[in-house]
Chains A and B, each alone.
Chain A
Amino acid sequence: MYRIWSSTNMAVCIAVIGKENSPKYVSCLNSDNELQFHYKVHTALDVVEEKLSLAGKSNNDVRELYLGLLHSTEEHKIFGYVTNTKIKFIVIVEATNTTLRDNEVRQMFRRLHAAYTDVVCNPFYIPGDHIVSKKFESVVKSIMSGNP
């Protein structure tokens, strides 16, 4: 069985948000409406914060990092993921991309998390700074384009 990778993009925007909700990295497939995506990512944090505060109350030992679908509009679906150190990952997918399965979204976040871990492991990276890394950039691009 061969899986043919569709030519449609997996994600249109990927963002890394710091512990205190400031953006550390935002990348959009199409830079024309970058500002709109910034707003979308920013407003999605409302839902992330709400989910985190609810998870904090239930006091489970292990919190599920993947938050699932945060919000969907007519054009986009927004997914969220929060690491144990409260670093948030936001992925925006086009609403027309109906073939995308939950499993694939999880996979995207896992790759993103791994790439982020590599960034933080870099001794020249100061935690809290904006992420400037060619390697991270290329991972993000490949996640967006859907290439494994």
Chain B
Amino acid sequence: MAVWMDGFDFPPELCSKPLALIGISGIDVTKNASDREVWESLSNNRAPNRAHISFKLLEPQHVFPVMKPKRNTYDWYIPKGILKRNWIVKHLQELPAVNVLFYHLDWDDPNFAAKKLDCANRLQSIRGALKGRLTRLAVVLIQRTAPVAGEDPSAADKANALCTACELNPKCLFVLPLGDHLQGYILRLEKAFLELAQGYYHHAIRAIKSHRDQLNKTTQQYLMVRHLFKIGLLSELKQDSHNAHKSYAQAYSQLLDLRVADTNAMEVKTVAGLINYKICRILFSQSMPRDAIAQFRAHTEAFKNREGHKDLTFEHYGWLAKQYWVFGDLFDEAIKQGVQAVQTQHPGFYYQQAAQLAIQRKQACEQLCQNVTTYPEPDPLTGMDTLEFFGQRAWRPGSLSVEPIDPSRERDGILALQFREKNGVNHSSLIITLFGIAISQFKAFRCPRMRRQLLVQMAEEYFSAKDYGKALTVLTHMLWDYRSEKWWRLLSAILLRALGCAYLTAGLQDYVTLSLEALGTAAQLTSQDKTRVFQNLNRILKRQLPEPEPGLSPIDLPHAKELWTASCASVDPPYVTVDMSNVASCVESKAKFTESQSHVDKPVLIEVYVRSSCPHPIQFSKLLVTVTTPSMSTELPASIVGPSEGHPLHFETNSVKSYMCQFIPDHRDVGNEIQITSILLHMGADGDRNIILRYSCVSNESSGADDICPELQHFRPTPVKSVNFDSIRVQSTTLLVPRTSLLDLSIHHDAPALLGEWYKVQLKMLNNELCNASSLSVEVSLVPSTDDPHQELTTQLCKDVSGELVSLPMQLIIGDLNVGSSKEISFYVRALRLNTRNLLIKAKYLMLDPSLGINAEFWNVCEKLVTISVVKPFDVLTKFISLQLDPLTKAIALEPLIAMPHTECLSPWPIVIHNSSFELAQNVRLVDDSFVSQLEGLELQKGEMAAEATVLNITQPSDQPVHVGTYHLQWSRKGQEHMVTSSTVTLPTLRVENAPIYVEMVLPAHGWVRTPMAVSYRIHNHTNRLIDVDLSMEASDAFMFAGHKQLQLCLLPESVRTLDYNLYPLLSGLVALPRLCLSLVKEGQLELQPPALAELLQRCLPTHVYVMPQAKGKAATPQVPVPS
């Protein structure tokens, strides 16, 4: 960059952050290890959080810049320039604010007095070297021993003595103990140094301010600016950015007031640039980006029209470009420090503007410097790098604007500058660099389109720099972007430029591609342009030289012609393949399969449509379609549909033709997709160069995928009888399916199936094919159900009921099936759950293909789906009742009860019950010895109900509901009695309570009037305790009885006491029995209340009995039924 920026580069000392300068002397880094350690901890790791100090190591005999004699009055002083070039460097790097003398001296040093004098001498010599300067002095004593808490009482005295000897303010004497905490001491020292430095700068500022008041505004305006600038810089050194900004801003406004002529324009602009830089930098660092931008705007606004000398306007643009560039850098730097930028305000805009100004600079240079051929002698620019002031001309340094100028020297100087500008500056690389930076900024701030425009401008610059290859590369990328957003106007402009580049580089491939696009309707070119492109394309085909594009530089043409001649003569490449998928070309093509599914025994048809929008008639030599299947890839020639006049591949402007091609698919590809990969259009006759237009059909997202709705294309008016090209939907794949089988597969079954039964499904196959089928097999599989994902676990299949279960899918081998014959086969399904099953039945067989001759067997498949719904055959509801036939909600342990299952038939088919049985739980027993099914052989229709009963006894009470057992039914459909299905129903659970006493009455089924009947009461004690009860028998009108009327009983533990009575019925009919009453002798002997005991008796004992009248005429036979 130094190559071009000669006068405009900002001095590095200005761009760095000003740091207070502190001189360090008395340290010997090379010989003394501890000194080196001190120096390194001072100078290394100057992180931003440490004090803003720059340390400079000074030799013992260092010479400081000589002080100029102080001026007593400024009255007659005429300044020769605004800012001295060496002043900033002097204050930043040469003249320390504080000079620190390091000296090795311990308080307890035996030679303390001698060393004290030595130190004083050294300090004195530094003081001498700095004579007249305000530089602060400080002494640091490097001590080996760390200070102890109780401190040496003599230390204070010795320090005082040292200060006196050195004539040093005691505040400027420091002690640095070597040891573990060196870094901590150094940090504290730094703070103290910084304070001293700030004091120094404060004084320096005051000194400048004091003589600023004496200045004369008419003749010493330069000085006003200079002083304010100095105050600004010193304030920065003092870390006072507020006042620094204030002073710089004042300096800037003073500068704007200067009278500007051609002679000092450059100087004013240079200084303005420097001050503006300082202001913007401070504003950014104070997080005030808006103010920085406003300042920069004002700056460019103030100077953009001050072009200076009319022969040096390129200098103005160069300066302005540099302003924008540097501001962009500052902005970018601020963003890295955390300033927020937005899409509409970011450094990219400044770089872009810099690039535009660099272009203007280049143009100005081309205009002004075209005739400059010789460099003037003697060199008027000697001493340019050693000028005293910023921005002055080398041929008249320090001259005042009022002085008359020497016209010939002036002319030579301008000539020299022009010569340098023309020959020493690479404008294009500069512009491209700036565009490059701007592009990356615009990319970062989400401006893709702005970035594209800049890339196009960058390509333009490559073009003007004659780097046509790079220009073409960039432009072809941009073509893609503008094409995808259909900005045809912009695309056309880029296209023409790219075509020029392709011509100049003789890039055959690019040239052909661009030509095809230029001929399309999207490219908005004039008809002359299109005709020229078309003719050139034809020349390429005939291996002739294309005509140059208009507007190209004549210097490049001969070279381009040579390249083309070589290209035309060469055989390679024999043909040019152009990928048309990314080109908005003049010829478009679409292909589609006529069907989305193709049967393997029929030819697959492909329709191809070609539309030419080329403004001139165009003819192709071949049209091929590439088709890919998993097993092969072929190129198929397409033939025109319908009669055609002339050549079938000859296209007039805006004509559409359709073609057809077909091929026989391979049986191996059944089940796979066939894909049209591409359409190939060949241009050029045999022997000529061939161009192959390759239209890819793989991606369905063609270029027209954006806001053109295919649904609306039908509304587009098209000429009658012509194909509406836009509305053709591309169908680039087809699924190859097996031929439709002629096997007749019929399925018979009696739906619905009953839950749990073996359900018979019968298949009947009839061969309607023309050939015999062999290896016929049937596969039965379960279609996965969405309701029940694990249906296969509750579905069983078998070939035969007596055989084993077969896992899914089931294979049934049938064998050969001759033409016209049929076979039947059946299988069984068992559903263990109620939901519907879908079975897929797939018959597969081998058959000879008559069209392919002997040995060409192939598989045929016939599929059918069977839906089987499942219903329950019956519902079983079990009730529990007491021996008195009352419904029970709970059972009492050891008291018998009746279980009564009611079976209701739900099946639409009659079912036959073969057997029924109970399987009882552990604590449940049958009261009878065995159970005999009462339902055996019963036939139930739908809705009918069967019931049976058995008496059970539950031995154990329980807190939990007791599982009683299960009920088994063996049944079958009527007519299929050989296929018995066993179903199991779980009996309901019962709550079982405990009762201490159980009374059982043994009573005949009926009695006769006036015939005694024997009854007995059996009183069970279920507890393991003695129970004393009072028993009483209440009289009944219907009976006389013999037995205990009232009795006290002692019931032994777990025993039965039997009491016999003889009843003598007096009345007939259903008569009440005498009532047995029990009561406990001792209340509370059992946990049983009297009402509970009464309730127990009521539950267990019958209350009534039937008494028959005596038969008339029949003598009463004393027949006493004996209780069993």
Contact = CB atoms under 8 A, between A and B. Distances in A.
Interface in A9-25: 18-23
Interface string B472-487: 0000000000000111
Contacts of B448: 46
B485 A43 contact: no
A2 to B, nearest CB: 36
Interface in A57-74: 70-71
Interface stretch (A32-40, A99-107, A111-119): A32-40
B479 to A, nearest CB: 14
A126 B490 contact: no
B712 A127 contact: yes
Contacts of A26: 489
Contacts of B487: 22-23, 38, 42
B90 interface: no
Contacts of A50: 343, 446
Contact of B447 (A23, A34, A43): A43
Contacts of A20: 485-486, 706-707
B712 A126 contact: yes
A47 B343 contact: yes
Contacts of A35: 489-490, 493
B148 interface: no
Contact of A22 (B446, B706, B712, B716): B706
Contacts of A18: 706-707
B720 interface: no
Contacts of B453: 39, 42-43
Interface residues of A, number: 22
A38 B490 contact: yes
A45 interface: yes
A122 B736 CA distance: 45
Most buried by A among B487, B709, B713, B715: B487
A89 to B, nearest CB: 16
A128 B712 contact: yes
Nearest to B714: A126
A71 B715 CA distance: 39
Nearest to B342: A50
Contact of B707 (A19, A38, A43): A19
Nearest to A39: B453
A26 B488 CA distance: 12
B712 A43 contact: no
B708 interface: yes
A21 to B, nearest CB: 5
B1056 interface: no
A42 B484 CA distance: 13
A78 to B, nearest CB: 10
B423 interface: no
Given A43-B449, A128-B712, A34 B489 contact: yes
B572 to A, nearest CB: 38
A45 B449 CA distance: 7
B634 interface: no
Contact of A126 (B447, B449, B706, B715): B715
B442 to A, nearest CB: 8
Interface residues of B, number: 23
A116 to B, nearest CB: 14
B486 A22 contact: yes
Contacts of A34: 489
B490 A46 contact: no
Contact of A38 (B446, B447, B489): B489
A127 B712 CA distance: 8
B1077 to A, nearest CB: 86
A38 B449 CA distance: 12
B707 A42 contact: no
Interface in B684-710: 706-709
Nearest to A18: B707
A20 B343 CA distance: 21
Contacts of B709: 127-128
Given A18-B707, A22-B487, A39-B490, A46 B343 contact: yes
Nearest to A54: B343
B88 interface: no
B706 A23 contact: no
Contacts of B446: 46, 50
Interface in B645-703: none
Interface in A81-137: 126-128
A128 B707 CA distance: 6
Nearest to B304: A74
Contacts of B447: 43, 46-47
B344 interface: yes
B766 interface: no
Given A42-B453, A43-B449, A23 B707 contact: no
B708 A128 contact: yes
Nearest to A72: B344
A71 B453 CA distance: 15
Nearest to B488: A23
A35 to B, nearest CB: 6
Nearest to A46: B447
A128 to B, nearest CB: 5
Interface in B315-351: 343-344
A26 B490 CA distance: 12
Contacts of B715: 126
B435 to A, nearest CB: 14
Interface in B708-763: 708-709, 712-713, 715-716
B450 interface: yes
B438 to A, nearest CB: 12
B707 A22 contact: yes
Interface string B448-482: 11100100000000000000000000000000000
A18 B708 CA distance: 10
A34 B344 CA distance: 23
Contacts of B486: 20, 22-23
Contacts of B713: 126
A22 B482 CA distance: 9
A42 B343 contact: no
A5 B447 CA distance: 37
Contacts of A43: 447, 449-450, 453
B514 to A, nearest CB: 18
A1 B343 CA distance: 42
A127 B453 CA distance: 28
A46 B449 contact: yes
A91 B1011 CA distance: 126
A22 B485 contact: yes
A123 to B, nearest CB: 8
A128 B449 CA distance: 21
A59 B1058 CA distance: 92
A4 to B, nearest CB: 31
B489 A46 contact: no
Contacts of A22: 485-487, 706-707
Interface of B: 343-344, 446-450, 453, 485-490, 493, 706-709, 712-713, 715-716
23 contacts: A18-B706, A18-B707, A20-B706, A22-B486, A22-B706, A23-B489, A26-B489, A34-B489, A35-B493, A38-B489, A38-B490, A42-B449, A42-B485, A43-B447, A43-B449, A46-B343, A46-B449, A70-B344, A126-B713, A127-B707, A128-B707, A128-B709, A128-B712
Given A45-B449, A127-B707, A128-B712, 5 more contacts: A22-B706, A22-B707, A46-B449, A47-B344, A127-B712
Please name the 5 residue pairs, one residue from A and one from B, whose CB atoms are nearest each other, closest first: A22-B486, A20-B706, A46-B447, A20-B707, A43-B450
